Structure 1
Amino acid sequence: MAASASDHSLAVAGRLGNNDVKLHIAMFPWLAFGHILPFLELAKLFAQKGHQISFISTPKNIHRLPKLPPNLSPLIKLVKLPSLNLPNDAESTSDLTREKVPTLKKAHDGLQDSLSNFLRSSKPDWLLFDFMSYWVTDIARDLGIPNAYFSIFNAACLGYVGAEFPDYRTEPDDFVRPPRWVPFRSTVAYRKYEVSRLFKELSGTQDGEDDVPLLYRFFKALRGCQVVAVRSCWELETEWLNLLSDLLGKPVLPIGQLPPAPPSNDNEEDENDESWRSTKRWLDLQPKRSVVYLAFGSEAVPSQDELTEIALGLDLSGFPFFWALRARSDSAELPAGFQDRTRERGIVCTSWAPQLKILDFVPKLTLHKH
């Protein structure tokens, strides 16, 4: 009897942990650094076992990746697909407002031919992809490449969404309680204020111009992949991992939390980074446990009221602070005079902040909000 696709995928997955078998693994994350960086950490993990990695993205995103460890860089090939030709050279969600992300999705979908050509010529043993690239499963099937959807979300998140969109989830209130297919006690659900922002995406009714709905991408990726790799572990999510495997009818492999590696003590690299040198000098001058550190991520777009409340709170607190604020040209503005009043005791960083290096100064920090 011929082995099933799942049997074959499990066999290949088992080989990933075998130091005697070296594989060529292609990895293609969605164009958001909250996705790209976990993929990169997984690439490093595979490379540590001696596997050859082709890490695929667009030129600007490849350029913005953190420096690879010298012992792993020979095993991780950074593959640049064509630029997206979007305004202002946008190539990731951090370059755009939320309203303009559909243009990034459309441009990303236009990379199918380039990716297919690379996979055809390089012939990887394994392909890991992100759910936004739902069309990858068709390419992999046509080329005979085993594939896995690597989820940066944990098993509870995937289990909450389920394997297909149910008919009964038609109102926002349907998302504030655990779904019917969860057989164990759970409090995993959205809060009402969260649903109000996300309902169109969650319900599958979001349909921007020339855009494929988010959940269509998600469910097609789940159906088309042979294996689901989850950023989780058995010790944390035993019930959810078992449920997810039952719902999908295919292997679900927890691959760990993939915390980023500690920053290297690369003095030469630090000397060449003026932004970090000035930040480090400032941190060195602050008293122990005095600095308030705020970072809400590159995807968070605060309203004007939210931004004003945070700024006024920092202003009135009197504490030194470092605020990683990913400002965009049409986003809300800081209150008038805020930066002048706090210039001597605070930093508002509107570019990419070296978070790991900043957190290395934990004795200086009193709060990390993310």
Structure 2
Amino acid sequence: MTSTQSSDECKQLHVAVFPWLAFGHILPFLELSKFIAQKGHKVSFLSTTRNIQRLPSRLPPHINLVKLTLPHVQELPENAESTMDVRTIDVHYLKRAFDGLQPEVTRFLEEESPDWIIYDFAPYWLPSVAAGLGISAAFFSILTAWLIASLGQSSDRMINGLDIRKTIEDFLTPRKWIPFPSKVCYRKHEADWLMTNFSVKASDEVSDTYRLGMVLKGSDCMFIRHCYEFEPQWLSLLEKLHQLPVVPLGLMPPETPAIVGDNTWVTIKKWLDGQEKGQAVYVALGSEFMVTNTQLVELALGLELSGLPFFWALRKPTAGSTNQDSIELPVGFLERTRDRGVVWTSWVPQIQILSHESVCGFLTHCGWSLIVEGLMSGHPLTMLPISGEQALNSRVLEDKQVGIVIPRNEEDGFFTKESVAASLRSVRVNGERKIYKANAVELRQKFGDTKLQKKYIDDFIDYLEKKRRVMA
């Protein structure tokens, strides 16, 4: 390496990031941006105006929020700029609007010439734009390694639609190119959901498999929220399948923020302090994937039937969302469970709740972020997956025996209050299945190892500094 190259690599980088229009994607991209900015590098965070207005107001000084104007698509509700603003079956219209951002994003890259552009799965058109401008391009996957590996045997096959599953039966067994024992596949009701909600709606629209194939084919590397200490074989498989450097970022566990004078936490902590140690269940199913009201009723009645103390973070659809199905708890439920349960319908300090000594387990929909937060606290999981990736996550974790998946009818996915109650009791610390707690505590050594996870981020920043394209 010449002295000139060494000097170039040490200069401040300019990194642009461009997430898909879902807050389950936007927030991890924002965390990634913070890591980069904290090392003194400049970050341009690109998203639409309304989504940027929803972000926290306090950010590191090196992060510049770049507002983009989402093109109008007639089928979208007014001011709909994220997946939380639309019904699941209408997300493809949001993708159509997202693709309309190409000219504005291209213009930004031409004018600002960042060293890197880091993007999500959706902008299939962006890698070729970056290559033409000599900008290093990376796919940052918040999707799990097993999901990506299951989608296609190679990027070319994904682009040409050769690995698309066309029937329900195609979803029910692990993909043939996975070379090690695996239970990563779907159940019938999950496959039905996928076929209903994620089939391409019109001949001129672009499938998610095509988007991801183009992104993988055109990227210089893949960054992924994963680590070698947990299921490392999937990282090696991704590199082999797509002939692409795969750089794990670690699990990106959230820091536990100091909460001073926050009335919400004061109120919640008072309730938690009043519970016996290791007896309460924390329940959170995320903020975007809503269960039906029938499922909500069974879940509530199951919590009641379990006899366990519970704190339920029940997020309502956001204002203006078309996911405004009414949230109606069973008649009399709140009164009957008043002495041992809380239903909280606004923001909660989740890390603090999971860290409290009264909490014994976590009922979750198996979003990857929530899994990380639950296991970094060493809690066994009661799993109720709702969407496609969550189902695969639950297979991996069930195989690791860190929790139990609530039994459901294979045909329609229906679950009962009895199955909820029995599952919750099964993962209690002093229940009959102590193996779940023991395995969750063992994984806490990996998921909660801040020194280990920090090392991954340091290595990632080093990769950015050394592997960017140096223009002649």
- Quickly name the TM-score band, shorter chain normalised: 0.7 to 0.9
Cα distance, 1:26 vs structure 2:
0.6
Cα distance, 1:50 vs structure 2:
2.3
Q: Matched residues in 1 for 2:349 and 2:93: separation?
A: 28
Partner of 1:217: 211
Q: Matched residues in 2 for 1:309 and 1:347: separation?
A: 17
Cα distance, 1:24 vs structure 2:
0.8
Per-residue CA deviations over 1:89-115 (Å, capped at 9, x if unaligned) read 333222333123233222322222222
Name which of 151, 159, 173 aligns with 2:149: 159
The one-letter code of the counterpart of 1:214 is D
Give the TM-score, by structure 2 length.
Answer: 0.65
Q: Contact 1:175–1:190 at 8 Å: present in 2 too?
A: yes
- Secondary structure of the structure 2 residue equivalent to 1:57: strand
Q: Are 1:279 and 2:265 matched, yes or no?
A: no
**What is the RMSD computed on CA atoms of the aligned residues?**
3.1
The one-letter code of the counterpart of 1:25 is V
Partner of 2:114: 124
Q: Contact 1:106–1:210 at 8 Å: present in 2 too?
A: no
Q: Contact 1:292–1:322 at 8 Å: present in 2 too?
A: yes
Partner of 2:303: 314
Cα distance, 1:295 vs structure 2:
0.7
Name which of 38, 46, 50 aligns with 1:56: 46
Q: Can you give the 5+ residue segments of structure 1 that lack an aligned partner in the other structure? A: 1-11
Cα distance, 1:211 vs structure 2:
4.4
The one-letter code of the counterpart of 1:326 is R
The one-letter code of the counterpart of 1:80 is K
Q: Matched residues in 2 for 1:346 and 1:82: separation?
A: 44
Q: Matched residues in 1 for 2:92 and 2:313: separation?
A: 25
Name which of 24, 28, 42 aligns with 1:34: 24
Q: Once the two structures are aligned, what percentage of the paired residues are identical?
A: 46
Q: Matched residues in 1 for 2:140 and 2:328: separation?
A: 37
Q: Matched residues in 2 for 1:62 and 1:167: separation?
A: 36
Partner of 1:250: 244
Cα distance, 1:127 vs structure 2:
0.4
Partner of 1:355: 350
Name which of 75, 78, 82 aligns with 1:92: 82
Q: Matched residues in 1 for 2:205 and 2:345: separation?
A: 29
Partner of 2:184: 188
- Secondary structure of the structure 1 residue equivalent to 2:66: strand
Q: Are 1:147 and 2:163 matched, yes or no?
A: no
Name which of 123, 126, 134 aligns with 1:136: 126
Partner of 2:226: 232
Cα distance, 1:149 vs structure 2:
0.8
Per-residue CA deviations over 1:264-288 (Å, capped at 9, x if unaligned) read x142xx54xx545543444444443
Q: Can you give the 5+ residue segments of structure 2 that lack an aligned partner in the other structure? A: 318-323, 365-472
Q: Contact 1:149–1:227 at 8 Å: present in 2 too?
A: yes
Partner of 1:79: 66
Partner of 1:260: 254
Partner of 2:415: none
Q: Matched residues in 1 for 2:271 and 2:116: separation?
A: 46
Q: Matched residues in 1 for 2:55 and 2:290: separation?
A: 23
Query: Cα gap change, 1:78/1:347 in structure 2, threshold over 3 Å: closer, same or farther?
Result: farther
Query: Cα gap change, 1:345/1:96 in structure 2, threshold over 3 Å: closer, same or farther?
Result: farther
Q: Matched residues in 2 for 1:137 and 1:238: separation?
A: 27
Q: Contact 1:302–1:332 at 8 Å: present in 2 too?
A: no
Per-residue CA deviations over 1:78-99 (Å, capped at 9, x if unaligned) read 2222366653633322233312
Q: Are 1:296 and 2:266 matched, yes or no?
A: no
- Secondary structure of the structure 1 residue equivalent to 2:256: coil
